[in-house]
Amino acid sequence: MKSLNGAELASYIKARQARQVRALRQAHGVFPHLAIIQTTDDPVINTYVRLKKIYGEEILIDVVSYRLTEDEALVKIRELNDDNSVHGIIVQLPLHDTSRTDELVDAVLPEKDVDALGQQAILDPATPMAINWLLAGYNVDLKAKKIVIVGNGRLVGAPLARMWRNSGYDVTVLDKNSPNIEEKVYQSDVVVTAAGQPNLITSDMLKQKAVVVDAATASENGEIVGDVATDVRERDDIAITPVKGGVGPLTVTALFDNVIRSSAASKQD
């Protein structure tokens, strides 16, 4: 098994980001600031918010989180939109009331929408960007490959499919209602899974030399797990992201790339 380790790549990008932030602070008087809006108390979400705060500290970006109701969140987003010292705003999904997702993510100004979830987003979404970085870092050429994306969510599946189709790649998107999922996965050279369903992808669903990116996160017995079953990782003929340190570290890195872009765009020349 070849491990597609995002943590190694992330460390190189992180060093570059730290230099960029220092330059913004010292040369331009811009102090990059990220605000996180959270409406759900969930162990997976709490972990990701904590990781973002730690990452921000390490590259000198201020990260402040707010745990609010949806009504309070809407008021806070409008307040943060008007605050020129805030360069990025994240609405951490899922919300406690998922029916209000569009309302809240679309309330974020496009230039501050560093997760690129709003309909008017102008930045690239973080997880698809991270997956692109990961595959490029390991020289996985997507041209002439059959690609399947399992899961059509707004964080990973849908924006990644759009990005790759725009690049001319052969992409099939599957969700829980798709027929012949096992057969379609088996026919694919590159499998990206982001369904949030533990043990969804098993070894017998993958062809030889498949490249597998497990971008899912779910909570199982207090552990954060992906979609890939343990028997997949016993294979020695495939390339796959590790249980920890795959897409996750690069997603956080990509998100902060957007915060830095937004901060740089705000500087007064």
Catalytic residues: 52, 92, 115
The answer to whether 232 touches 201, Cβ cutoff 8 Å, is yes
d(CA 60, CA 51): 14
Q: How many CA atoms lie within 13 A of 55 on its CB side?
A: 26
Which amino acid would we find at residue 163? M
H or E, element range at 192: strand 190-193
Q: Cis omega (within 30 of 0) on the bond before 94?
A: yes
How large is the C-alpha radius of gyration of the chain?
Answer: 19
Which amino acid would we find at residue 118? G
The answer to whether 175 touches 193, Cβ cutoff 8 Å, is no
Give SS3 for 39. Answer: coil
Q: Nearest-CA neighbor of 7 among 163, 138, 125?
A: 138
d(CA 166, CA 151): 19
H or E, element range at 90: strand 88-92
Which amino acid would we find at residue 204? D
First to last CA, the chain: 50
